[in-house]
Amino acid sequence: MCLPPHELSCAVDCWTPAFEPLGACLMTSCPLQNGACSDELPCVDRVVYTAEWVGGGGVLATCKAACEKRFPATAEQAGFPDALLQCASQACV
């Protein structure tokens, strides 16, 4: 069981398998960005939403705009997913 249910660093039997091998790569290649994001619910929601959006063929720029409307966040929280996605695009995609 994943506690809390939206934490990016939760157990393997939670949402992570749906995003493999990206999930494992983020843990290994982007630990600082992943760690900063994992305990901030708006950040987690944005990362999951982005992964689902892009995985379904959506354009990242459009998703980013949709995320800002759908998941309100502080400037710091909004920066976490950007840093995580930038690291992911350099190291994992």
pLDDT over 70 percentage in the chain:
78
**Domain range list for the chain:** 16-91
**Better-predicted residue by pLDDT, 11 or 17:** 17
- The pLDDT assigned to 18 comes to 62
Q: Are 49 and 63 a contacting pair, CB within 8 Å? A: yes
Distance from C-alpha of 47 to C-alpha of 82, rounded to nearest angstrom: 9
Mean pLDDT throughout 32-51?
81
User: The pTM is what?
Assistant: 0.62
Task: Read off the tokens for 53.
Answer: 């959006």
Q: Check residues 52 and 32 and name the one with the higher pLDDT.
A: 32
pLDDT of residue 89: 81
